[in-house]
Every structure is written in structure tokens, then in C-alpha cells.
Amino acid sequence: MYRGFDKYNKPEISVSDKQPHRITLGRNLAALIICGSSALLAPGVAAAADWPGGKPITIVVPFSPGGFTDLVARRFAQDLGNELKTTIVVQNKPGASGQIGTALIAREKPDGYNLLVTATQHVIYPGLQPNLPYDPKKSFSNVAILAYAPNVLLVPAKSPIFNAKEFTAYANKQPGGLAFGSSSVGGSAHMSGELYKMVASANLRHIPYKGAAPAVTDLIGAQIPAAFLDATSAAAFIRSGDVKALAVTSKDRLPSLPDVPTVAESGYPSYESQAWIGLFGPADMPTPIVQKLNQIAIDSANTVANVKWLNDNNATPAKLAPAQVTGFVDAELDKWKTVIEQAHVTVQ
């Protein structure tokens, strides 16, 4: 591991009043300065050359075990360990909608041994809670997007509504607005609904649930007339016919749901709400390490086995370079902050 110049162990230099010694000292100092400068010029290169050096790498998932983010992280961890020939430890650090685990990584050294796999909450919560213990734009190295997992606009199976335009028209006829459920306040699915409300000028009101399961249960029983839910949670119920999918929130149709149009192609071309799972590290990670992790992440997500697994869960792989990831994350932060402000979304 690169440690840089140790200020507590400087070399001792004896000085004599004899001229030859002063000349030698000058040359030695020059050599020392040149060597030291060379080392300081490329710390990232030196660090990357030794990384990981057989040392274990920890991936923090700021959510509970068993969720889709956790499952994606563990599949990536297996491929990462195989590629780097080192141990990868996945640690779940849930709490405060992902803030606890995320803050842990923000405080770590940027040496490539502590990473974060998180989801869309990473770019939503800064708009809901501006006083976070980290800066989402400055506290992290943006490494890779591991998967896209959009949300879906759903209605009960026996609903007379068959597309997004009909949904909007029906909502605008309801006094007080048409209710839609989601898995939480401020989650990706909720925000997809708020964005739809704005773009489609739809008269909607939000009903938050504590998780996707109770929301799906009430939707199947027609206790609520609609819901925005993540496609991975809704997949089995869409296939079984227990619920009807009107539109997906992503830019493109899902390969696993080819007959379900996007909201954009359903009459609202400016609409896009893309849930995702990403890989991050502490700020200022050496560029060679970021690039190495990015390439492994892309290769992992796009294997035949992982593409099939993602598609089976109504998700798709990504192929963004680090600079593209940074641009994407920054745009997401700005986008959701605007939606939160205009929709007056708050968390209790």
C-alpha cells in the first residue's frame, strides 16, 4: 500500500564545514527531492500497482439482507473476488434509509478496500434531508452502475384501465385525486409517481406503505386503485396476472416485459424515472483503481448468466464509464431535488 512520505522518519543528514561535503550534500538533497517528487506525482499509480495485494475488500450495503440491492451486491462481489483473487466481504449496514451505511464509506480512506453498493435513494434523500452527514457530490468516487431496475405503474387485474392515457383521464375525474400506493415515502417508486403527476398533469395522491409486499396485497385486492412499485418486486405478480402493468418508468421497455410500453411512449415523451443500483467508493480514490473496478463491474453485469438473472427480475445491466456515472449521478441529484421541491414532498 502506498503510504507517501513519512514525515516522522526523515533521513538524518550530517553537515560539515568542508566544501566537498557541502557539494555532496547538495547532490544528495537534489536526488532526494527528485525521488520524493516522483513518488508524489503519481500516488494513484503506486496505490493501484499494489491493490488489492491479497487484502480483503469490504462492500457495504446500506440496506437489510435479501433485498434486490443486496442480491446484486453479492453477485458482483463473487465476480470481483474471482477477478482480483482476494476475499470480498459484504456487510449490511441498514438504517435511516441507507444513510448510516453510506456515511461509513464517506469516512473511509480512498484506497479501494472499502466500497459502497447502494440504490436510487442515494440521489433522492439529499433533496429530502439536506443536512446529511456527507455530501453526495463530493464525498464519493462514482465507480459504476451495476443495474437498472425501473418502476412500474400498476392497477388491479380487473381494472377497466388499460394504458397510461386512460389512467390519467380516470384520475382527473376523481374528486380529491386518485390514490396510488408505493413502498415508502421518498422512495424511488414514490418519486416515480410524483414525477408522473407533474408530467402528465394527473390528479394523484400518494398512500405510503411499509414495503412493497403490503402495497401489492392491497392492489391485488383492489383496496387501492393503483400503485407505482419497483419492477423487481412486482415481477411475479405481473406474470401471474394478479396485477396489470400499464407502463414502465424507464426510457426503454424491459426485455422481460416486452408488451408493456414505457410512460414516454404512452403519450408523455419527457418522462423518465430510472431506478438503479450503483457502486461507489470514498472520494479521491486513485483513478486506476476506479477504472479497474468499473471494468470488472461492467464485465460482471453483462455475463450471460447475470443478464438472464437481471432480466428475470425485471432489471437490465449497464455499461457506463466512470465519467458517465458521475454525469448520471449529478443529473439525478438535480432532477430529484427539483421534483421534491415542486411536489412538496417531506418525510416525517
Q: Identify the residue whose cell numbers are 380529491.
A: 176
Peptide bond into 208 cis (omega under 30): no
Provide the 8-state DSSP code for 224: S
Q: d(Cα 332, Cα 250) in Å, to the nearest integer?
A: 14
Please report, as a single letter, which amino acid is at residue 195: L
CATH topology for 151-266 is: D-Maltodextrin-Binding Protein; domain 2 (3.40.190)
- pLDDT at residue 20 greater than cutoff 50: no
pLDDT score for 45: 61
Beta strand ranges found along 191-346 (DSSP E): 204-208, 227-230, 243-248, 276-282
- pLDDT at residue 37 greater than cutoff 60: no
% helix, strand, coil for the chain, step of 5: 45, 15, 40
Q: d(Cα 204, Cα 219) in Å, to the nearest integer?
A: 16
Q: Which helix (H) or strand (E) holds 332?
A: helix 322-343
pLDDT band at 13 (very low <50, low <70, confident <90, very high): very low
Worst-scoring range by mean pLDDT, 15-29, 193-207, 233-247, 261-275?
15-29
Give Cβ neighbours of residue 86 (< 8 Å, ≥ 6 apart): 52, 54, 55, 56, 57
Cα atoms found within 13 Å of the Cα of residue 241, Cβ hemisphere only: 1
**What 3-state DSSP class applies to 284?**
coil
Domain map (residue ranges) of the chain: 49-149+276-343, 151-266
* Cell matching residue 50: 499494489
Pick from 58, 190, 209: nearest CA to 125? 190
> Phi then psi for 227, rounded to 5 degrees?
-160, 145
Q: Identify the residue whose cell numbers are 500497482.
A: 49
Identify the sign of the CA torsion 327, 330, 333, 336: negative
pLDDT band at 130 (very low <50, low <70, confident <90, very high): confident
- Cα distances (angstroms) measured from residue 230 to each of 19, 152, 189, 211, 224: 78, 6, 6, 11, 17
- Cα distances (angstroms) measured from residue 65 to each of 32, 131, 215: 51, 27, 20
- pLDDT at residue 97 greater than cutoff 70: yes
pLDDT band at 49 (very low <50, low <70, confident <90, very high): confident
> Phi then psi for 251, rounded to 5 degrees?
-70, -35
Give Cβ neighbours of residue 153 (< 8 Å, ≥ 6 apart): 164, 167, 192, 196, 226, 227, 228, 245, 246, 247, 248, 249, 263
pLDDT band at 33 (very low <50, low <70, confident <90, very high): very low
Q: Name the average pLDDT for the chain.
A: 89
Q: Which helix (H) or strand (E) holds 335?
A: helix 322-343
Peptide bond into 52 cis (omega under 30): yes
pLDDT score for 271: 98
64-83: average pLDDT: 97
Using CA atoms of 252, 255, 259, 264 in order, give the dihedral in degrees to the nearest 10.
Answer: -10
Return the percentage of the chain with pLDDT > 90, whole number. Answer: 81
**What 3-state DSSP class applies to 110?**
coil
CATH class of 49-149+276-343: alpha beta
* Cell matching residue 276: 438503479
Domains 49-149+276-343 and 151-266 share a fold: yes
Q: Count CB-CB contacts under 10 A for residue 259.
A: 6
Check if the beta carbon of residue 246 is closer than 8 Å to that of residue 263. no
pLDDT in tens, 169-186: 999 999 999 999 999 999
- pLDDT at residue 158 greater than cutoff 90: yes
